[in-house]
Amino acid sequence: MHPHTTISPELREWILATTRAGHGVPEVLKLMKEHGYDPRQSRSIVAEVLKLPLAALLAGSAKGAQPGLRTKHPEAPEVHVDGHAIGVSLSVDAPALRILENVLGAQECDELIALARPRLQRALTVDSEGRQQVDRRRTSEGMFFTLNEVPLVGRIEQRLAALLGVPANHGEGLQILHYLPGQEYEPHFDWFDPEQPGYEAITAVGGQRIASVVMYLNTPARGGGTAFPEPGLTITARRGTAVYFAYEGGDRSSLHAGLPVLEGEKWIATKWLRERPYKKPAKA
């Protein structure tokens, strides 16, 4: 049990507004310290307001690491970037999540599918040692584009950078996944676990992941939504729509799953963002 702290409405609103504006938890804690708050008390307050486990805040403050960038959450009702009016049709605080409408045009979705189709392979995940591995939790097929590999990919990367206020070079290469009936992606976190032995290696370049954007390239006939069990939310996969969610390492509210496709197929493009510029390590 930790002691109950009373948090003033002004402080609560300031913490929410500061993180919405793209400042990370380490920065919020630093500002609070400068204003005379006791660091331990600040951590409990921030954890409570953002509904994060205390452990998530401790992970971020370890080893005097330089605070990295954080994404700015797109604000309702809509954001204009790159000639697109991107609608924000749902906002959730824990996890920090937005449903984004019209992120991609129909033709862009079709082009991404056509470019990816001949390059599909059984999808891989990063294991605890930082190696790419076939993962039985993810039964789909996938491929990665390199950063700015073709003009269409570069344009989408620039659009997301403008939308989220984080430069495109913080992104991992765009990943395309293809699911057939029965295929799914079981519940998981996108952040890397600081407790795992491979954490240092995985985050040596680019640091921790800070946010994910899952863009739906088609509308599966049935099933294939993205579920967030903590808020009890299922996003419908619809062509051109995306779900954006942001997290700190250790944020358990960001648990999510690609639900099984029941009929038809499902295509998505996923962009993971890092707190620092990311370059794919050279192959050994």
190 binding ligand AKG? (CB under 6 A): yes
Is 256 a binding residue for ligand AKG by CB under 6 A? The answer is yes
Structure token digits, residue 255 = 């648990």
Match 């970037």 to its residue by tokens.
Answer: 81
Q: Do residues 178 and 266 touch, judged by C-beta distance below 8 A? A: yes
Q: Which residues contact 243 (CB under 8 A, 6 or more apart)?
A: 97, 98, 99, 100, 213, 214, 226, 235
Contact of residue 217 among ligand AKG, Fe ion, none (CB under 5-8 Å per partner type): none
Q: How far is CA 28 from the centre of its chain?
A: 20
13 vs 186 by CB, closer to Fe ion: 186
- Closer residue to ligand AKG (CB): 14 or 189: 189
Rounded CA-CA distance 118/133 in Å is: 21
State the binding partner of 258 from ligand AKG, Fe ion, none, CB within 5 to 8 A by kind.
ligand AKG
Residue with smallest beta-carbon separation from ligand AKG? 258
Supply the minimum distance, in Å, between the C-beta of residue 47 and ligand AKG: 25
Which residues have CB under 8 Å from 75's CB, separation 6+? 20, 88
d(CA 73, CA 94): 13
The distance of closest approach from Cβ of residue 254 to Fe ion in the complex, given in angstroms and rounded to an integer, is 9
Minimum distance of Fe ion from residue 270's CB (angstroms)? 7
Of the pair 59, 213, the CB lying nearest Fe ion is at: 213
Binder among 190, 248, 251, 275 for Fe ion (CB under 5 A): 190
Number of H helices, E strands in the chain: 7, 17
Q: Which residue is nearest to Fe ion (CB)?
A: 190
Contact call for residue 258 and ligand AKG (CB under 6 A): yes
- Is 108 a residue that touches ligand AKG (CB under 6 A)? no
Which C-beta is closer to ligand AKG: that of 15 or that of 156?
156
Residue 214 touches ligand AKG, criterion: CB under 6 A? yes
CA atoms 56, 162, 243, 233: torsion sign: positive
Nearest approach, Cβ of residue 83 and Fe ion (Å) = 29
Among 42, 203, 254, 270, binds ligand AKG (CB under 6 A): 270
Q: Work out what residue 223 binds among ligand AKG, Fe ion, none; the CB cut-off runs from 5 to 8 Å by kind.
A: none
174 touches ligand AKG by CB under 6 A: no
Q: Select 108 or 190, whichever has its Cβ closest to Fe ion.
A: 190
DSSP at 150: S
Q: Under 8 Å CB-to-CB from 223, ≥6 apart: which residues?
A: 181, 259, 260, 261, 262, 263, 266
Residue 165: CA count within 13 A, CB half-sphere: 16
Minimal distance, residue 112 CB to ligand AKG, in Å: 14
CA distances from 26 to 59, 68, 222 (A): 10, 9, 42
Q: Which residues bind Fe ion (CB under 5 A)?
A: 190
Q: Which residues bind ligand AKG (CB under 6 A)?
A: 185, 190, 212, 214, 226, 256, 258, 268, 270
